[in-house]
Structure 1
Amino acid sequence: MSLRLVALAATLVVSTAYADDYSDVSQLARNGKFNEALAKADQYLAGKPRDPQMRFLKGVVQRDSGKTTEAIATFTRLTEDYPELPEPYNNLAVLYAGQSQFDKARTALEMAIRTNPSYTTAHENLGDVYAKLASQAYGKALQLDASNTAVAPKLALIRELFNPALAKGQRPSSTPAVTAPPQVVAAATPPTKAPPTLAPPAVKPAPSLPAATTSTATAPVATAPTASPAPAPAAPEPTQPPAPSANANKDAEAAVRAWARAWAAKDVKGYLAAYGKEFDPPGNTSRSAWEAERRQRIGGKSKITVKLDNLTVSVNGDKAVAKFRQDYKADALAVSSRKTLDLMKSGDRWLIVRESVN
């Protein structure tokens, strides 16, 4: 089992000339000419020091050439300048894990997942890091109390995960040592275009509407001996949820577009007001902490552009789902992604209660 180093997956808008520069550096690295690759990367960055694609590529080359300290510094600066990208966090975690700094690796991976909750590689790597932390803890427990028979089987199981050969009959001793750090898989060089990554944190889905119920009436019993029994009234038709008004779709669509306009205008107050009280921030983040983070990120950009394409809205009672392609640009960063917003009607307003990237 090993942590996986990845290539940059954000869709970065680059010209053909820039793409050639990336290809040249990648080719030099693949041929083992690391010093030439780094020199060409530095030459490029001298004119475009904030370019995230080349900076990411430089970090990969530094790692492949054994310059781990320099690679950590490169990826750390990328996370500071482009906190929207999860890949630098992931690669930073891999480098930390290679140095057995598993607490730092865990923190970096949690940041990657917080940035993009659907980032499979980061989830897998985080599982490996937790296993390594557990291995260290169990090993320490055995050192302190070798007679504790409950710990050895747990440690043996983790060792099997990291060394499949043990599962074929080679059992560890009763007091196995803590296993070595996982081997880092060599990284692929970053493409000029790849899947989108800018992802708002996932939240808990809103509860579904209760199913419609059917009620029936019981025929009344006659009380006077001379009166004929009253006929039983017909059972009412099953109740149906109210049909959406003719303007419901337009109103929900208008709410989505207003949210995007507020974001692009850096109108933080209007942007945050688009989220309902039911909106659940990612992980264990409180609503106030999430709002503070959004204020910092939006306010820190000199210019933001948010374009929505292929917007479709479906309404079901007081709930709506909006799906669209979002093209986001901020300073030197450009990211394209498919996004889904779940909205709920509150009074006469449609508010966002869930946000996810497909």
Structure 2
Amino acid sequence: MTATPEPETNSTPLRPVPPPSAGARNDAAARQLSLTKPSGSLGRLEAVGEWIAACQDRCPPSPLVRPRVVVFAGDHGVAVHGVSAYPPEVTAQMVANFTAGGAAVNALAQVSGASVRVVDISVLTDTDPSVSGHKIRKSSGSIDREDALTHDEVLAAIDAGRAIADEEVDSGADLLIAGDMGIGNTTPATALIAALTDTEPVAAVGRGTGVDDAGWIRKTAAIRDAMRRARPVVKDPIALLRVAGGADIAAMAGFLAQAAHRRTPVILDGLVVTAAALVAEESARGAREWWVAGHRSTEPSHSIALKHLRIEPLLELDMRLGEGSGALVALGLVHAAVATLSNMSTFADAGVSTEITADTAE
């Protein structure tokens, strides 16, 4: 039975999401039992295949032919206060690198059968018109001392993320990955996660791009101050994004929620994307059923967010790059899960016995 969505309001523009098909998931689980293998012998690949079948509402599921990565780029004012090992101008430089095909996400997409799009949501400088059509502003505010966005900018960023998801699904994408690029973006991401999970900053803060001890102290202080500013609005996801988030994170939240509404599976990437997912689930309840986590980042707040979402990562490779890189590595596992569920023979088709009989035991 499809749940009736709650009415939208100005303070909660994301709607609850109906779950993937329980019937198709059950059919897929039953098919797993009929395939030429011991029950459960493919481990979590079996569950992933059943999840894709549920998302597609068909068993066996169809191969994924157009996975799509969208990298959301945005700067953050807090980056100028020594919370990152890299200067803010790297964001725009990396946007150009993505467009030219020279980044890790491009290399991994090529071997994973995916394609890459980069969108400038809030890069500090001007970027090429081909990537800046959904731009909200130039850099988000420094969350330790000012709001990241205005209320209207939060709503505009969420709408941009929704529109981008619609564009991709309407163009044929059958699986989506959100990637992130923004110097300093792990600071608002960690602040959001720590605020929503009631975690002390020192337990949540990681090294990001590789800051030294002094940088870690500055980053922890910035997150502490942002959390103090955000405490009065922690129960309001839109206000929380305004105070302690950023345009890129708000856009990702809209993107992830809309992908679920469009019944399109998503592989979550690392810390920043999962922070956006945590906020999206706060408003678009049920969206998490349309997501799997590609990997577990070395950032401590990523594990905190995954636990809160009750999602176990597919891989643990000590990655912390972002860009969608960890999700792309996990995409190969999703392809494998679909292939085994769809292409293996059943015991009946292959003429393979399913149990020991009295004759064969002698």
- TM-score interval, normalised by the smaller of the two chains: under 0.3
Name the TM-score, length of structure 1 as normaliser: 0.25
More helix by share: 2
More strand by share: 1
Give the structure with higher Rg (CA): 1
Between 1 and 2, higher relative CO (CA 8 Å, sep ≥ 6) is seen in 2
Name the TM-score, length of structure 2 as normaliser: 0.25
